[in-house]
Amino acid sequence: MGKQWVLPKKPAVVITGASSGIGEACAYRFSQIGARLALLARREDRLERVAERSRELGGEAHIAAVDLSGSDATKRAVVDAEAALGAIDVLINNAGFGLYAPLESVPRDDLERLFAVNTFGPLAAIQSALPGMRRRERGHIINVSSVVGKRALPMTGAYGASKYALHGFSDALRVELRGSGVEVSVICPGFTKTEFSDKVLDYGVERGRPRAGAMSAEDVADVIFECARRPRTEILLTGKGRTLAWLQRISPKLADWAIARTIAVRLPRLEQGS
């Protein structure tokens, strides 16, 4: 039987997608308790800036510039992080990107890249971190998903599918690790004010930018930090998200109706002769 989870005083924390947004905010939040951090992302210059600020806040920070869409590269980066930190207490799988477009127009190459970053990357990180966690009978895996990982909205079918998959293996993993001392949590933010929305692939499709009720990266990081202290299975961060997930459970048809009433779908015009 594994030990009951207690967040160490100065935990060793690996954060993917740590160069901006939620990942960056998590680095600063954990630094406030003197965490030992391994920060993973593609942009080395941004990672250096985040690491410097993390040290100013009281943390210890190591960086690794890595393309998290490559499973082998991700696995090596996590193994190296464990060697640098001496252990991994918390793994925060935060790296990801979005895609907003009707499914009929999503190229396979973009779909494969989406799953590589949002689904296969987190799995690769987990597979590298788990052996050490299981040996120590202590660890916490926190997967950052999305409200659309519970119910995809129009134009988010591809992105939502990559997050559904993240939920699927998180659910299975949680039971596989029952009694091992390793916790698994899923965090589902709604719209968050970060660079993420500016980098969404949309192929020129018009998309709304909700403002009311949007969370800050710091708000989400606070929730992740509290989850690291007191593990929860799944956290949906918005009331609308919780309502939609509930509707989806009791009646997918009712969820369809509610979404159609709320969101206007504007499909691109077909070219003449199509």
Q: Is residue 248 part of a domain?
A: no
Residues with catalytic function = 159
Asked if residue 98 is part of any domain, the answer here is: yes
Contact between residue 68 and residue 121 where contact means Cβ atoms under 8 Å apart:
yes
Domain containing 181 — which CATH number?
3.40.50.720
> Positive or negative CA dihedral for 102, 267, 213, 41?
positive
Tell me what percent of the chain is helix, strand and coil, each rounded to the nearest 5: 50, 15, 35
pLDDT tens, position by position, for the chain (274 residues)?
A: 567 889 999 999 999 999 999 999 999 999 999 999 999 999 999 999 999 999 999 999 999 999 999 889 999 999 999 999 999 999 999 998 888 888 888 899 999 999 999 999 999 999 999 999 999 999 999 999 999 999 998 888 999 999 999 999 999 999 999 999 999 999 999 876 655 555 555 555 555 555 556 788 899 999 999 999 999 999 999 888 899 999 999 999 999 898 888 877 666 665 555 4
pTM, rounded to two decimals: 0.90
Q: Which residues pair with 38 in a beta bridge?
A: 14, 62
Domain coverage including residue 50 = 12-239
187, β-bridge pairs: 144, 235
In this structure, the strands spanning 139-144 and 90-93 are parallel
Burial of 10 (0-12, 13-18, 19+ CB in 10 A): middle
Is residue 123 included in any domain, yes or no?
Answer: yes
Is 255 within a domain?
no
What's the pLDDT score for residue 98?
Answer: 85
Give the count of beta carbons closer than 10 Å to the beta carbon of residue 174. Answer: 17
Whether residue 2 lies inside any domain: the answer is: no
Q: How many domains does the chain have?
A: 1
The pLDDT of residue 101:
86
